[in-house]
Structure 1
């Protein structure tokens, strides 16, 4: 039977895990010209996930890391920016994930557990906004 052990479990409980930004996935983008205020509001479903150096199932990883790595999670946030005369402002929203590393062990009924590999989980935890001004 395979089991998951989080690396530095105390760190994860204390929320010292690493947040990562996925710049390859745009949740939403909007743009405006002039001096008005542009607001980008996001409430979208973002896919959780995991990767591993061994063939461990999503069900086993889900049990080990404490959240469902196969489902989507809704991330919600809003960001406003004031435009500038003679410029176009572009707001882009990206998913922000909590990333943790884990190790995969084969729990033996007899003897010690056997290390099989490692992996990383990704849980959507929020939205990261960028703004860019382009001269008209």
Structure 2
């Protein structure tokens, strides 16, 4: 029960960081954290990172120990430059997500993009 409470607090903190930091900050610090899904299937560790509007060539992967770091940048559309914005709910700017991988060693087996999501499959190395 305690572990579930800690997980809920971590999710709430992540959502707070994701939605309440100002997009467009002039800093290299991440502005938002993309939501993820991590699951295993057919012997692979699959990770889905929701990055709507981010071109695949603007996504970087870095493995630091057992943590996968996904960084990307979503720029404001040109149409926003000359008009008044009435609602801005989709985050823009630099994103960064740290994903702790389950114990073991992994090799990236597939990297793809589909419907605004980054799709990653990792093989476990024995």
* Higher gyration radius (CA): 1
Normalized per residue, the structure richer in strand is 1
Normalized per residue, the structure richer in helix is 2
What is the TM-score of this pair, normalised by structure 2?
0.31
RCO higher in structure (CA 8 A, sep ≥6): 1
What is the TM-score of this pair, normalised by structure 1?
0.30
